[in-house]
């Protein structure tokens, strides 16, 4: 009786302890390794406190960084900290913490309030060098990719980011071994806004920035006036529009329109325009700029992902940059590493469920581009080894409602943005796109190919296969002194090359011999 009593007593003591221990583990283990972030301020500069508007004169002022105006400037203040229960080692960071600002591009960012052993140079890029790597972070278009560095418990820092564009909001993600990256609830207060404004001024001064009145600098003598129509690659279209906008901002009498129609459609439109535009026309391989309907409608530049195939006689190609693509998946697949042979099996229909390659139990939905796409041609050549993709079997990218007997679920989309929308919203989806375009979608993850990453380092080392050269094509050699010739020359300027770098392109005009060799096809 005594032993039975002791047993019951022991159970009465042990069971509650076990329950408490299990509850503690459930709550604590996910936080054992945890990086949290909070967007403390996210505001256009015209919504700053009234004391900062200089008695209402702000609307007539401009923000200049390195003598360049920042259009539609906004400010974001982020707090990043190790909120876990243990220190975080470099080896524990599976995928770097990345902040994406949809609809906006990063102009500059500064690091403030470092604590717990974190230093400025761990996080910051070389100053004034967008897209630069080094020991600090990397800026790629609308993203800040933080480097891998150790974070002691309770360590942290703040990022003050100056942005351009109409967008709003921040997306933060990363992968921590045995942990997570989480978004904390944002808190607003007048104090945080004033702090942000004060730090912004320090950032602008440190960047040799200024606020200026007036109509801007005189138009340079190298500017040319007129209308220019560019068509082609939808992958290159966004950055081509940025370059066109920058050129028109300096050369205000130039009217440049860029239209994404697909590389081959752009080349065809350029070739067809030869009889009307003459040798001064220009075509951009895979992306395009189209002239306004009120002016000369002929295409003058065609954007092409890769060199033009045979049959386009008289077109002259101008290599602009190395463009890197990625195979992308919906993050629900749980698969972020694939070999080219596994991808070929997916397109053959041999692999139809992600669990066959170690992922989730989800059917594979292939979201592809139409046949006029240079992105697709590069994928078929470099990843599928020259094999053709199977015919489309789906209208909705989810079921075989077009060809029920097909071995794969495969749909086709006309442009990069629509493809990424599909991959972002469909669990189990796989597709392909230019790397910086994919970064704006929260559920889209790039896949490592043959254990190599989609970056210029692995491309130069010959490890990463999915890349090509972006060309701007013209009908013959542009007439010297024409707007076409001036716009092509503008791609060699620092402004244009910085825009290319920000969008994850590597300009062909760089002094790096390896890049020059890639651009020449060597």
Domains of the chain, residue spans: 30-212, 226-322+472-499+509-519, 323-467
Q: What angle do CA 82, 86, 88 make, to 5 degrees?
A: 60
Question: How far is the CA of 355 from the CAs of 253, 329, 456, 519, in angstroms?
Answer: 57, 14, 31, 39
Identify the sign of the CA torsion 423, 439, 515, 492.
positive
Helix 483-490 crosses helix 237-250 at what angle (to 10 degrees)? 110
Helix (H, G, I), strand (E, B) or coil at 168: coil
Task: Considering only CA atoms, give the Rg of the chain.
Answer: 26
Per-residue pLDDT tens digits of the chain, which is 522 residues long: 566 655 565 665 655 666 655 555 444 445 678 999 998 888 887 655 555 444 444 444 667 665 577 888 888 999 999 988 888 887 778 788 889 999 898 888 888 888 888 876 677 654 333 333 334 567 778 888 888 788 888 899 988 889 988 888 899 988 888 888 998 875 545 555 555 555 555 554 444 444 443 444 567 777 899 999 999 999 999 999 999 998 998 898 999 999 999 999 999 999 988 755 444 444 444 333 333 333 346 899 999 999 998 888 899 999 999 999 999 999 999 999 999 999 999 999 999 999 999 999 999 999 999 998 999 999 999 999 999 999 999 999 999 999 999 999 999 999 999 999 999 999 999 999 998 888 878 899 999 999 999 988 899 999 999 999 999 999 999 999 999 999 999 998 888 888 888 788 999 977 678 888 899 876
Fold of 226-322+472-499+509-519: D-Maltodextrin-Binding Protein; domain 2 (3.40.190)
pLDDT of residue 187: 52
Helix (H) or strand (E) holding 266: helix 263-272
Say if residues 285 and 266 touch (Cβ distance below 8 Å): yes
226-322+472-499+509-519 and 323-467 have identical folds: yes
pLDDT of residue 491: 92
Q: How many CB atoms lie within 10 A of CB 492?
A: 12
Helix 263-272 crosses helix 374-382 at what angle (to 10 degrees)? 120
As a whole number of angstroms, the distance between CA 51 and CA 335 comes to: 51
List of long-range contacts for 458-465, beta carbons under 8 Å, 24+ apart: 459/322, 459/324, 459/518, 460/514, 460/515, 460/518, 464/324, 465/340, 465/382, 465/383
pLDDT of residue 31: 60
| Residue 67 region by backbone torsions, left for phi larger than 0, else alpha for psi between -120 and 50, else beta | left
As a whole number of angstroms, the distance between CA 376 and CA 306 comes to: 11
pTM comes to 0.60
Class of domain 323-467: alpha beta
């Amino acid at each position: 009786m005594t032993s039975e009593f002791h047993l019951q007593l022991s159970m009465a003591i042990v069971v509650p302890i076990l329950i408490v221990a299990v509850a503690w583990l459930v709550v604590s283990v996910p936080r054992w390794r945890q990086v949290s972030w909070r967007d403390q301020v996210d505001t256009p500069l015209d919504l700053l406190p009234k004391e900062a508007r200089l008695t209402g004169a702000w609307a007539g002022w401009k923000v200049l960084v390195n003598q360049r105006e920042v259009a539609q400037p906004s400010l974001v203040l982020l707090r990043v900290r190790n909120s876990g229960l243990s220190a975080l080692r470099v080896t524990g960071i599976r995928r770097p913490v990345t902040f994406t600002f949809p609809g906006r591009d990063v102009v500059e960012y500064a690091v403030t309030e470092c604590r717990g052993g974190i230093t400025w140079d761990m996080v910051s890029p070389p100053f004034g060098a967008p897209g630069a790597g080094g020991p600090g972070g990397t800026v790629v278009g609308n993203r800040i990719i933080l480097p891998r560095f150790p974070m002691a418990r309770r360590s942290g820092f703040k990022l003050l980011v100056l942005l351009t564009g109409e967008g709003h909001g921040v997306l933060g993600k990363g992968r921590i071994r045995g942990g997570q990256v989480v978004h904390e609830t944002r808190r607003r207060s007048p104090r945080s806004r004033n702090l942000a404004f004060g730090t912004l001024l320090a950032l602008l001064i440190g960047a040799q920035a200024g606020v200026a009145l007036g109509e801007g600098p005189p138009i340079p003598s190298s500017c040319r006036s007129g209308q220019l129509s560019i068509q082609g690659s939808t992958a290159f279209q966004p950055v081509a529009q940025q370059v066109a906008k920058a050129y028109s901002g300096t050369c205000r009498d130039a009217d440049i329109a860029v239209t994404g129609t697909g590389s081959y459609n752009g080349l065809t439109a350029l070739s067809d325009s030869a009889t009307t535009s003459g040798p001064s026309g220009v075509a951009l391989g895979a992306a395009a700029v189209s002239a306004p309907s009120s002016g000369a409608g002929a295409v003058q530049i065609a954007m092409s992902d890769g060199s033009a195939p045979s049959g386009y006689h008289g077109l002259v190609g101008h290599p602009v940059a190395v463009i890197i693509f990625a195979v992308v998946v919906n993050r629900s697949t749980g698969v972020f590493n694939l070999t080219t042979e596994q991808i070929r099996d997916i397109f053959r229909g041999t692999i139809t469920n992600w669990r066959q390659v170690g992922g989730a139990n989800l059917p594979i939905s292939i979201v592809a581009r139409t046949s006029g796409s240079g992105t697709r041609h590069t994928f078929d050549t470099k990843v599928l080894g020259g094999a053709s993709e199977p015919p489309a079997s789906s209208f909705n990218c989810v079921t075989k409602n077009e060809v029920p007997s097909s071995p794969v679920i495969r749909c086709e989309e006309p442009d990069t943005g629509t493809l990424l929308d599909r991959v972002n919203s469909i669990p189990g989806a796989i597709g392909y796109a230019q790397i910086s375009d994919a970064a704006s979608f929260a559920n889209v993850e790039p896949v490592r190919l043959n254990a190599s990453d989609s970056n210029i380092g692995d491309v130069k080392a010959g490890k990463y296969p999915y890349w090509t050269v972006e060309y701007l094509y013209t009908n013959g050699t542009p007439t010297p002194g024409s707007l076409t010739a001036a716009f092509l020359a503008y791609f060699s300027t620092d402004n244009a090359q910085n825009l290319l770098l920000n969008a994850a392109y590597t300009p062909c005009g760089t002094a790096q011999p390896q890049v020059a060799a890639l651009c020449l096809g060597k």
